[in-house]
């Protein structure tokens, strides 16, 4: 039995036209201005008045991540379900072995966790230290495991963070293996010392989280990571950029021809640091690293999107409940688990505040949320496109109407929404996974464990 999508406005990163799409056997088998059913049993979707988009590719999530004495509240089933409800059909999570732990042990643990995922998924590998076998394990991940992207943290000193010497070696080995280096850019030593100073002064509230990690420590670390990548000849992907200083560093690198990719997230485009001043410890809901920035940075980031400096929009989805998790840091902001929920709202927020405000057009929108992340991370054209022979992962977006986001209605397993009350335009009407309807007008039809691990070749 096939699936026929009729008379929607088909939008890709390069094209926009009205037409039909036929899906069979989990793949797109035909795209034309008009198609007919091939069997009486075929299911037909009338998409007139709606956009037909490639299913979103989310490059940056953390499901059931052990972190800061707790574990992110969405597991792979609930988090991937929220992704599907928001128009995302492929997620890329991050396997994070502890310092001193084998990369392959970490990969095995995350593969086991991910068995319950409802949509297709891939993995990045975190490199949290450099030992005798690290180079060999990096090569195995690229050549055998289908995991060619490696993230290191310049923050989290004393835990999963690496120093410059380790990072130089990691970049060198990753380049030799043909992989891509990803970087969380914050100056870990400065952050640790600022945190210590603020706590000693009795400044323990959530609002001091941003004070302890000012934008210039992100800007400096971004520039330093770019320099190390330049010295090693390695290509670099900078995750969750939040500020003017980081954008300036990446812009300069791109202008001189260095292979650097940039990601930002909706929270950094739409929120400012006033959220940390909410009373009754509510500011803790917004504690994430890097933090949400003061007013002014948001417009600079939007400018970076409009100028084409940013390649992808991720979310860094890593939710923690206020009750029982965030409240662990009620008397010390350094103990508030870092992270928030966002994977369900990425597509809708960028459509509303990007497309509907004329900052970007529909093609650029599709490129940011689907095509470009698929290209960078070796999933294209199987994912992130509407192409004959590609996977039948499709989002149908109805641009009519509007609604408000709320923790009361989201699918995230989290008791807070950092976008509480935000008005969004249009809605994800239907989501197709592998040629089958997985979400339809609010009704989820996902299956635990149906998601497949997607091995990726060496990236771009």
Q: Which tens digits make up the pLDDT trace of 351-397?
A: 999 999 999 999 999 999 999 999 999 999 999 999 999 999 999 99
Predicted model pTM: 0.98
**Phi, psi angle pair for 197, to nearest 5°:** -65, -50
Alpha-carbon distance of 227 to 230, in angstroms, equals: 5
pLDDT score, position 157? 86
Contact indicator for 444, 85 with CB cutoff of 8 Å: yes
Using DSSP, state whether 86 is helix, strand or coil.
Answer: coil
Using DSSP, state whether 30 is helix, strand or coil.
Answer: strand
Q: How many CA atoms lie within 13 A of 91 on its CB side?
A: 34
pLDDT score, position 59? 98
Alpha-carbon distance of 218 to 300, in angstroms, equals: 15
Alpha-carbon distance of 390 to 381, in angstroms, equals: 6
Cross-strand bridge partners of residue 16: 11
pLDDT < 70 positions in the chain: 459-460
Six-digit token pair at 284?
A: 């803790």
pLDDT score, position 460? 57
pLDDT score, position 423? 98
pLDDT score, position 126? 98
pLDDT score, position 459? 58
- Within a 10 A sphere around the Cβ of 40, how many other Cβ atoms? 6
**Phi, psi angle pair for 388, to nearest 5°:** -60, 125
Six-digit token pair at 84?
A: 């599907």
Six-digit token pair at 169?
A: 């070696």
Domains observed in the chain: 3-53+385-399+426-444 (2.30.40.10), 55-376 (3.20.20.140)
List Cα–Cα distances, 430 to 7, 171, 223, 249, 438, in angstroms: 14, 41, 42, 39, 8
Closest CA to 444 of 435, 436, 452: 436
**Phi, psi angle pair for 391, to nearest 5°:** -65, 140
Contact indicator for 140, 76 with CB cutoff of 8 Å: no
Contact indicator for 37, 77 with CB cutoff of 8 Å: no
Distance between start and end Cα atoms, the chain: 36
Give the strand order in the sheet containing 236-238.
Answer: 56-61, 88-95, 120-126, 149-153, 180-184, 236-238, 260-264, 312-313
């Amino acid at each position: 039995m096939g699936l026929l999508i009729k008379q929607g406005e088909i939008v890709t990163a390069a094209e926009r036209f009205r037409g039909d799409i036929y899906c069979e056997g989990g793949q797109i088998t035909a795209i034309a201005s008009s198609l007919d059913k091939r069997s009486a049993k075929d299911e037909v979707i009338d998409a007139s008045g709606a956009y037909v988009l490639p299913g979103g590719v989310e490059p940056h999530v953390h499901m059931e991540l052990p972190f800061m004495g707790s574990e992110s509240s969405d597991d792979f089933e609930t988090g991937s379900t929220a992704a599907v409800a928001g128009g995302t059909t492929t997620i890329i999570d991050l396997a994070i072995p502890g310092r001193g732990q084998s990369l392959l042990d970490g990969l095995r643990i995350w593969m086991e966790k991910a068995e319950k995922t409802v949509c297709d998924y891939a993995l990045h590998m975190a490199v949290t230290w450099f030992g005798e076998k690290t180079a060999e394990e990096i090569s195995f991940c690229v050549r055998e495991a289908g995991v060619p992207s490696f993230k290191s943290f310049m923050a989290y000193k004393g835990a999963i963070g690496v120093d410059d010497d380790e990072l130089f070696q990691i970049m060198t080995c990753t380049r030799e293996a043909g992989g891509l280096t990803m970087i969380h850019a914050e100056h870990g030593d400065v952050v640790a010392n600022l945190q210590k100073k603020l706590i000693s002064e009795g400044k323990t509230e959530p609002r001091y989280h941003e004070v302890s990690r000012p934008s210039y420590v992100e800007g400096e670390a971004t520039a330093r990571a770019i320099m190390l990548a330049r010295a090693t000849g390695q290509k670099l992907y900078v995750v969750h950029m939040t500020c003017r200083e980081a954008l300036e560093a990446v812009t300069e690198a791109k202008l001189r021809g260095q292979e650097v990719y940039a990601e930002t997230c909706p929270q950094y485009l739409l929120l400012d640091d006033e959220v940390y001043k909410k009373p009754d410890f509510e500011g803790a809901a917004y504690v994430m690293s890097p933090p949400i920035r003061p007013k002014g940075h948001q417009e600079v980031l939007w400018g970076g999107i409009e100028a084409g400096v940013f390649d992808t929009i991720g979310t860094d989805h890593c939710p923690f409940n206020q009750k029982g998790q965030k409240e662990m840091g009620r008397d010390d902001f350094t103990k508030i688990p870092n992270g928030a929920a966002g994977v369900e709202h990425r597509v809708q927020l960028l459509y509303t505040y990007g497309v509907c405000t004329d900052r970007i057009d529909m093609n650029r929108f599709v490129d940011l949320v689907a095509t470009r992340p698929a290209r960078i991370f070796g999933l294209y054209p199987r994912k992130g496109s509407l192409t004959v022979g590609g996977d039948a992962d499709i989002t149908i977006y109805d641009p009519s109407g509007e609604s408000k986001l709320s923790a009361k209605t989201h699918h995230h397993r989290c008791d807070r929404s950092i976008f509480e009350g935000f008005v969004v335009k249009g809605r994800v009407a239907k989501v197709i996974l592998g040629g089958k309807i997985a979400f339809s007008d609010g009704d989820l039809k996902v299956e635990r464990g149906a998601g497949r691990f997607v091995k990726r070749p060496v990236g771009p």
